[in-house]
Chain A
Amino acid sequence: MSNTTQTLGADLAPPGAQTGAWAWMRSRLFSSPLNLLITVLLAWGLLMAVPALVEWAFIKANFDAANAQECRASGGACWAFIIEKHRLILFGTYPFDEQWRPLIATVILIAVIVASGMRRFWNGKLALIWTLGLTAVAVLMWGGVFGLTYVENARWGGLPLTLILATFGIAFAFPVGVLLALGRRSKMPAIKALCVVYIELIRGVPLISLLFMSSVMLPLFLPEGFTIDKLLRAQIAIIMFAAAYIAETVRGGLQAIPKGQYEGADSLGLNYWQQMRKIILPQALKIVIPPLVGIFISLFKDTSLVVIIGIFDLTLAAKAALSDAAWRGFGVEAYLFISLIYFVFCYSMSKYSRALEQRLATGHAR
């Protein structure tokens, strides 16, 4: 026995390194000729692109130029433009001396979003947090009470406006969406038909057409002498749009609840609304939290479309900064700056959503 092992083992070379830098590179970069080729091509591409980008964005970049000519002469990115215009880009045309108000409003909105991500608040408290937070934001932005001067919403702009459109949008669209989802699952044919038509109509057309509708058609819909301002109209369009998408997501959650839960609730003698409120919705909504985060992310990105009907959100504020004749031609820098803001928000939310999905999935793993 020991003889056989010895003869078999004698001709075998010692195994190659299974750990260490070389083994890692061999298995992760050069495992086959094709892989080697791809690695070399990509590495070459990176070597061409990354140093040039770093040179443009940092080494040759200009952070303190006083005017556009000086900035252009440096040959790199002109971050001085962003530094010069950051108040306009972040807060729009809000009165300059009062800009601490939108700043605090932004902080409150971010805090509300962060609090919604904490599981300890996933109960009645969350509704309270949203109500208090959004009320505080409205008071801060509008003013007119507590000695704050009144600022009309045509002057709001920048990051707080983007956040307001997204958070108020989701806050009002959520209950509507849940009702639509319940309606679509209803056994009453007329209610079901109404909900299906609404959801499919909204999901079939682009958000832009809804925004156009709100800006040109809504004034025609209203009785004579009754007007809604532009921002509110855009907000209504966003709520209508988001509600349809939330409805479809929540419907997915409702479908995932086994029939036994409905029957069990029936046998307890609960009526329809008690069943939904106490048994079905708590379970269904828990399932759909990760996709709801996804909807919030796309809603946050979609608020940028209000640019097209002339509302002063982050993107239009950047365009306004770009239209200054003294600082023309720094579009790439301005859009990169705004993209970074959007990226930080959306990326952290999607990271959170993925972590949440994993944590919530543990109970259902097969």
Chain B
Amino acid sequence: MAPHIAQRPAQRPPRRVSWNDPATRALVYQALALALVGAAVWFLVHNTLHNLSLRNISTGFGFLNREAGFAIGETVIAYSPADTYGRAIFAGVLNTLRVGLLALVAATVLGVFIGVGRLSKNWLVNKITSVYVEVMRNVPLLLQLFFWYALITENMPGPRQAHNPLPGVFISNRGLKVPGLEGASLDWMLGGLALAIVAIVVVGHWATKRQEATGQPFKLGRTAIGLLVAFPLIGWLASGASLTLDMPALKGFNFVGGLTLTPEFVALFLGLTVYTSAFIAEVVRSGIQAVNNGQWEAAGSLGLPRRLVLRLVILPQALRVIIPPMTSQYLNLLKNSSLAVAIGYPDIVSVVNTTLNQTGQAIEGILIIMGAYLTVSLSISIFMNWYNKRIALVER
């Protein structure tokens, strides 16, 4: 009897649809959820199309090719009211990127200094940086922007009595005036600079490869400085050395020459830098504190000088802790730059806002804003994730 049972081919139980089967329930729940979301989306789209047809608004992105007809206070690219909405929005995107990238660099530098300062044994440094971080973190950014903007436009003197802290630098209620560079060589020198950066990356790559293969180190720092000086210099000479310093000067009631940084730009840049640097300082501080003290001692007992301990042992480990929260701070900074609209800096939000007030294309406008931010946010997080993976601890 027993062998007979053993020989009987294993019979799979017939598939029955039962509510007690978790797989069945999961399928039903998912189908229900999708149906609900689908119905909600259909309902919203249906209402929207109906409302749009009531208000005689045509959907689509055709309006981007129409003439914009409004001026933009400051642009990176050439722009006039006769240009299209598309170009206006592009100018807005570039303005966002300009203030965002500059503030990102400034906030990182300032934040690292302040974060290190919070760990300093020097009592004065420690207290001042702590107060800075607490105050700046706990006051809304929008309020800080209003504050800087009011400080510049209401409390700074007019152009004729402008503060002049350095030769060629004027601070007045019209913004900041700084000397600019002018001449045909400028593009050549910038090209040289870009080439130098590419060359440094290539040489650095080669140097790492060589050190891994032969053990010979390569003095990258000196080479990098040499390249950074030499390439722009060659560009300057090659283009006939035509470069002059354009100093701002008071003429009548306003300044001529030089570079102008508008009050809007200065307020936004200051606000973003100061606010974000307080958060970056905390990230840096916790990153350095996360490295075990034993690492310092062990590296010291290997005979490494303090400079090398920091570079080869402490920083690589601190960076692992620092990179993920730093990424979210960078993303926050970029998203916070949209507050520009509150003080009238023509970033993408403010340009699109003007556009949708003129054309009534609300949905397209908001889709453009969201699309632009999502693109840049996702690219930053992809880049930072790649970098994070590169420096992450390789485990078995």
Contact = CB atoms under 8 A, between A and B. Distances in A.
Interface of A: 27-29, 31, 35, 38-39, 42-43, 46, 187-191, 194, 201, 204-209, 212-213, 216-217, 219-224, 297, 301-302, 304-305, 307-308, 315, 319, 329, 331-332, 335-336, 338-339, 342-343, 346-347, 350
A82 to B, nearest CB: 14
A301 B141 contact: yes
Task: Say what secondary structure dominates the interface of chain B.
Answer: helix
Contacts of A191: 29-30, 33
Contacts of A219: 51
A219 B366 CA distance: 14
A209 B29 contact: no
6 contacts: A208-B339, A209-B370, A217-B362, A301-B138, A301-B139, A304-B140
Given A212-B353, A301-B141, A307-B142, A220 B52 contact: yes
Contact of B349 (A46, A194, A208): A208
B143 A342 contact: yes
Contacts of A343: 135, 138-139
Contacts of A220: 47-48, 51-52, 362-363
**Nearest 8 CB-CB pairs, A to B?**
A331-B150, A346-B138, A190-B30, A206-B335, A301-B140, A28-B123, A206-B338, A216-B362
The A contact surface, by secondary structure, is helix
Contacts of A212: 349, 353, 366, 369
B374 A204 contact: yes
Given A224-B50, A336-B147, 18 more contacts: A28-B122, A190-B34, A191-B30, A191-B33, A194-B33, A204-B374, A208-B349, A212-B349, A212-B366, A213-B366, A220-B47, A221-B48, A223-B47, A224-B51, A301-B138, A335-B146, A339-B144, A342-B143
A90 to B, nearest CB: 15
B373 to A, nearest CB: 5
B44 interface: yes
B50 A205 contact: no
B137 interface: yes
Most buried by A among B31, B124, B342, B378: B124
Contacts of B124: 29, 38-39, 42-43
Contact of B377 (A31, A194, A204, A217): A204
A55 to B, nearest CB: 15
A259 B163 CA distance: 65
Contacts of A28: 121-123
Contacts of B353: 212
A339 B144 CA distance: 8
Interface string B1-20: 00000000000000000000
A214 to B, nearest CB: 10
B151 interface: yes
B374 to A, nearest CB: 5
Nearest to B368: A209
A343 to B, nearest CB: 5
Given A29-B124, A35-B122, A221-B47, A205 B341 contact: no
Contacts of A329: 154
B125 interface: yes
B362 A209 contact: no
